[in-house]
Structure 1
Amino acid sequence: MKNIFRIFNISVLMAVLSLSFIACNRSSADEDDHDEEQITNIVLKLTDTADRTTAEYNTKVNSKTFPNIKLKNGHTYDVTTHFFHEGKDVTSQIVAAKDEHFLVYNFPKTDLVLSRTDEANSTRKDGAKVGLKTTWKVNKTKTEEGGASLILTLFHEPAKVSEDKDKTAWGKVTGGHEDATGMYNIVE
């Protein structure tokens, strides 16, 4: 009788375990619009509003080497941000899931004013602009401390976002996780 009881308990345990494995299988679930592994590069396209010259700055996500963004004091730049996976532009996936994304632009040691200029297609339902289009008004490329840089972070599923400046960062999030981070040096 004890053996029958043990066999029954083991059978129940096996059934429960197999159901839990089936329930956790993501192959049948809807996949995320993109995985953080899929973003390999972030490209910034800057257009100087004074002379309309354009430059592109491409950084590899989580790279140890950073491109130099050349900015001039007193100049204003229209900036578009694009995300790539191995050469394919995946920015449209971020736009399609705009309510799940938000960009934070952190400019330690650079004095500038950033304005988000996103159109309706990249404005979240809470009214916050994702930050794919921005304008940068450069007051001073480098502060006295030198070593100016940009740390650009794409957040996924933040619980709360703000476009406001927080110390040296333009934008703030609560919750969520980082989809991609790109770093750039700021030079004159």
Structure 2
Amino acid sequence: MKIKKDIIPLSLAVILLMVSVVITSFTEYMLTTRHHLAIVLTVLSAFFYFRNKKVYVYIFGITLLLGSAGIVGFYHVGFHFAIGAFKIPFISFSPIPFALLIIFLYFNKSLIDQVYWLFSTSKTSEYEKQDRLEAKIKRFEQKFADKTTEELKQIVDLSNPYVDEARIAAQRLLNQR
């Protein structure tokens, strides 16, 4: 079974939380509300990882943002950098959740793009859609360039499970012959 790389940030968060729970069970350290909130949000994220990836992206992304701001805690010892005056932080930063956020964004680029496009205010123009379609067709044309006429006819046939772009590319190649 191949392990999916997009689960790595979630796994690291779960490991950090489990280590924190074990350490606080046997030492004088105590879990705070920040840690309990991180546990709840991480468990919720894990649930949605297997049920609905788009919801997972939102919940885990928000969890990591909250962790980066120091609102939720993933580890029993907090590492925070703060900028402010008189012990009132204007900007608070926690590096562990921030590193998890960077890893999360790296491994979930395509899913985040899908989620972003759902709420994008600027809809893609007809020209952009046509451009993308033409690029897909060109890729299929390159892929099918070495196929025989009979193979191209099979691709064009509607009873075969090919996408429309592949059929269009095959038809264009047949017309050129």
Same fold per superposition (TM over 0.5): no
TM-score normalized by structure 1? 0.23
In our comparison, the structure showing a higher alpha carbon Rg is 2
Higher relative contact order (CA 8 A, sep 6+): 1
TM-score normalized by structure 2? 0.24
Greater fraction helix? 2
